[in-house]
């Protein structure tokens, strides 16, 4: 009997079964690739959120780019060279020459000579004013002077107004009383100076009203925070004529910036307390500086259109990529500029998402960021130039950089997953492209909306302290008062002094010229 082999005979399958197995394998491989891609995208977004929450918030990408967003001086000195030579200077990225200088002696900054001085004399005891050698009396020959700054804490006082009454001694038919002084809040509890102090504390320095009330109590001023809030709302309403004039000046400008941020209003009819509302910010780029804030319950076009009603056709509008601004520009016949900073930010996120071990200068995000940096280096170089000269530089140099950015964009736009961080960055750049390149046509147009973001930043910082507005009236008042303070700062006028002068003079204004005289660039400030 033959011995059976231990090796089984090979299994056989039909051609149809083989084809089915191959198809199943390919399907599984495709599903694996999709799952792997989705996993990588999820990890990418997770890391991006972690960086957003915990990483440093600076947008600078190294010492060679800090000037882009921190407004530091670039080591490219303006000269009278030909445009081509200027271009060559801009392209020298790797070397940063430092002008020769002499190291200054370190020391503390001297105190302002305009501050009032009080002399405190320190005398030797009379018994020590005798010469130890011959016994003669010592004579004064001078003094060694040192200075320290002294701060007098808040002093709370009450101004008691006596309106004197007059009567005829012969009859009872004539009785007269001195008139009540005109005030911004009739019968208000706080003086104009005190009201300005409370308002600047909240809107300039971000101090919530309950802290202001606590601070006042330390010095004997026992006033509830809701009383302070009521006064702020009434003042915010009273300054509306000045706000209207500021808006007229804003809309008359050749260049307007727009932006918006969230704000929470607790008691808004028909809306939950947790619902997000918006504070819209506007500023001009020509004429006396104006910074305006306006409250709106939403972010839609119906709210934005009210803010830009009356804008002159042909005005230049600078904004981020929010779609509403496209509608405003189209409806008003405006020239709409795109913001290169907003185009750069998603590229930075995409660059940061690359593992450190895999990063290289050849990454598309890195290359685009470096090209955008060249645009800003050119703008820094031409910061103090005439618009005509700046336009020549843009035409010769910046236009070439823009063409290279466009070439890289079109090459890689459809080569990466649209839902990845890089894909989103490239598609945003592509969607904003017609607006981004418009700055090449005019030597006065800006590259970004950073100025209005800087104007809105004090509101964002203050919001972290006071968190929300209680009512719609409070939100509108806050918008008006932020507008006054930021416009005063933009015109190099100290906000407290401006508000004191405004609150005193506003009740006396009757004509348009009177109100015009109250604008920050026109008002006469009272001496402190």
Distance CA 209, CA 202 (A): 7
Which range is least confidently modeled, 50-64, 260-274, 348-362? 50-64
* Cα distances (angstroms) measured from residue 336 to each of 64, 88, 389, 406, 450: 30, 31, 23, 19, 16
Predicted local distance difference test score (pLDDT) of residue 251: 95
147 near 111, Cβ under 8 Å?
Answer: yes
pLDDT tens track for 287-299: 999 999 999 998 8
Find the mean pLDDT for residues 228-253: 95
Find the mean pLDDT for residues 206-212: 91
Burial 35-54 (b: 16+ CB within 10 A, else e): eeeeeebeebeebbeeeeee
342 near 448, Cβ under 8 Å?
Answer: yes
* Cα distances (angstroms) measured from residue 372 to each of 68, 70, 87, 348, 397: 10, 15, 15, 11, 12
Question: What region does 308 belong to: left with phi over 0, alpha with psi -120 to 50, or beta?
Answer: alpha
The CA-CA-CA angle for residues 84, 90, 95, to 5°, reads 130
Distance CA 194, CA 189 (A): 9
Q: How would you classify the pairing of strands 291-296 and 316-318?
A: unpaired
* Cα distances (angstroms) measured from residue 64 to each of 76, 90, 401, 404: 12, 12, 18, 21
Predicted local distance difference test score (pLDDT) of residue 283: 95
Length of the chain: 528
Find the mean pLDDT for residues 208-218: 91
Domain residues of the chain, as ranges? 344-445
Q: Which two tokens stand for residue 374?
A: 């060249």
Give the residues across from 264 on adjacent strands. 276
Distance CA 260, CA 453 (A): 9
Predicted local distance difference test score (pLDDT) of residue 21: 82
Q: How confident is the model at residue 44 (pLDDT cuts 50, 70, 90)?
A: low
Q: How confident is the model at residue 79 (pLDDT cuts 50, 70, 90)?
A: very low
The CA-CA-CA angle for residues 439, 440, 444, to 5°, reads 55
| pTM for this prediction | 0.78
Closest by Cα among 45, 89, 155 to 381: 89
Distance CA 461, CA 65 (A): 25
- Looking at the predicted structure, is the pLDDT value of residue 57 above 70? no
- Looking at the predicted structure, is the pLDDT value of residue 52 above 70? no
Most confident of 215-224, 310-319, 347-356: 310-319
Distance CA 264, CA 279 (A): 10
Closest by Cα among 467, 475, 482 to 208: 467
Distance CA 39, CA 248 (A): 53
- Looking at the predicted structure, is the pLDDT value of residue 528 above 80? no
Higher-confidence residue of 150 and 33: namely: 150
Predicted local distance difference test score (pLDDT) of residue 80: 42
Predicted local distance difference test score (pLDDT) of residue 325: 94
Predicted local distance difference test score (pLDDT) of residue 96: 44
C-alpha distance across the termini of the chain, in Å: 125
- Looking at the predicted structure, is the pLDDT value of residue 397 above 90? yes
Helix (H/G/I), strand (E/B), else coil: 184: coil
Predicted local distance difference test score (pLDDT) of residue 316: 96
Residue 244: CB atoms within 10 Å:
10
- Looking at the predicted structure, is the pLDDT value of residue 255 above 50? yes
* DSSP for 287-355, written as a single string: SS--EEEEEES--SHHHHHHHTTTPPTT-EEE--S-HHHHHHHHHHT-EEEPPHHHHHHHHHHHHHHS-
Distance CA 291, CA 204 (A): 14
Q: Which residues contact 223 (CB under 8 A, 6 or more apart)?
A: 189, 190, 213, 216
Q: Which two tokens stand for residue 72?
A: 């530091």
Distance CA 485, CA 498 (A): 8
Phi, psi of 474 (to 5 degrees): -65, -40
Cβ burial of 396 (10 Å; 0-12, 13-18, 19+) is middle
Higher-confidence residue of 305 and 68: namely: 305
439 near 330, Cβ under 8 Å?
Answer: no
Find the mean pLDDT for residues 232-238: 94
Q: How confident is the model at residue 7 (pLDDT cuts 50, 70, 90)?
A: low
pLDDT tens track for 166-197: 888 888 778 888 888 889 998 888 999 999 99
* Cα distances (angstroms) measured from residue 90 to each of 354, 361, 397, 438: 29, 19, 9, 21
Predicted local distance difference test score (pLDDT) of residue 68: 42
> What integer best gives the mean pLDDT of the chain?
85
Find the mean pLDDT for residues 468-485: 91
Give the rounded percent of residues in the chain with a pLDDT score beyond 70: 85
């Amino acid at each position: 009997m033959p011995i059976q082999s231990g090796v089984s005979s090979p299994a056989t399958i039909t051609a149809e079964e083989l084809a089915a197995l191959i198809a199943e394998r390919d399907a599984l491989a495709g599903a694996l690739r999709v799952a792997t891609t989705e996993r990588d995208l999820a990890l990418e977004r997770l890391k991006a959120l972690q960086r957003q929450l915990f990483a440093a918030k600076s947008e600078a990408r190294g010492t060679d780019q800090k000037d882009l967003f921190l407004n530091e001086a670039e080591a490219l000195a303006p000269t009278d060279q030909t445009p081509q030579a200027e271009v060559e200077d801009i392209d020298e990225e790797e070397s940063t020459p430092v002008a020769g200088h002499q190291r200054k002696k370190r020391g503390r900054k001297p105190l302002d000579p305009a501050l009032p001085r009080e002399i405190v004399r320190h005398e030797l005891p009379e018994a020590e004013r005798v010469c130890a050698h011959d016994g003669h009396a010592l004579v004064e020959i001078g003094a060694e002077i040192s200075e320290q700054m002294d701060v007098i804490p808040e002093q709370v006082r009450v101004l008691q107004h006596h309106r004197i009454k007059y009567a005829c001694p012969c009859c009872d038919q004539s009785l007269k009383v001195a008139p009540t002084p005109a005030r911004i809040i009739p019968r208000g509890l706080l003086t104009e100076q005190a009201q300005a102090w409370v308002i600047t504390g909240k809107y300039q320095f971000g101090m919530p009203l309950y802290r202001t009330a606590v601070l006042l109590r330390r010095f004997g001023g026992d006033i509830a925070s809701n009383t302070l809030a009521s006064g702020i709302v009434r003042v915010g309403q009273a300054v509306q004529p000045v706000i209207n004039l500021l808006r007229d000046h804003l809309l008359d400008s050749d260049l307007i910036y727009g932006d918006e941020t969230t704000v929470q209003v607790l008691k808004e009819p028909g809306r939950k307390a947790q619902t997000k509302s918006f504070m819209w910010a506007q500023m001009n780029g020509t004429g006396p500086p104006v910074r305006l804030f306006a409250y709106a319950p939403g972010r839609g076009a119906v709210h934005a259109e009210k803010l830009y009603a009356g804008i002159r056709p042909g005005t230049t509008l600078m904004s981020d990529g929010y779609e509403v601004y496209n509608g405003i520009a189209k409806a008003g016949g405006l020239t709409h500029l795109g913001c290169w900073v907003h185009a750069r930010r998603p590229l930075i996120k995409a660059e940061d998402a690359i593992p450190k071990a895999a990063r290289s200068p050849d990454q598309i995000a890195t290359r685009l960021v470096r090209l955008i940096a060249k645009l800003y280096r050119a703008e820094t170089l031409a910061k103090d130039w005439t618009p005509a000269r700046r336009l020549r530089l843009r035409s010769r140099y910046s236009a070439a950089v823009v063409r290279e950015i466009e070439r890289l964009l079109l090459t890689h736009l459809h080569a990466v997953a649209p839902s990845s961080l890089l894909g989103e960055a490239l598609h945003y750049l592509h969607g904003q492209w017609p607006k981004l390149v418009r700055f090449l046509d005019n030597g006065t147009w800006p590259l970004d909306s950073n100025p209005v973001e800087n104007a809105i930043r004090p509101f964002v910082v203050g919001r972290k302290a006071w968190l929300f507005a209680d009512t719609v009236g409070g939100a509108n008042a806050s918008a008006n008062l932020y507008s006054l303070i930021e416009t005063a700062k933009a015109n190099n006028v100290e906000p407290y002094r401006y508000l004191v002068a405004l609150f005193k003079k506003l009740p006396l204004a009757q004509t348009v010229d009177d109100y015009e005289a109250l604008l920050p660039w026109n008002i006469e400030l009272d001496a402190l």
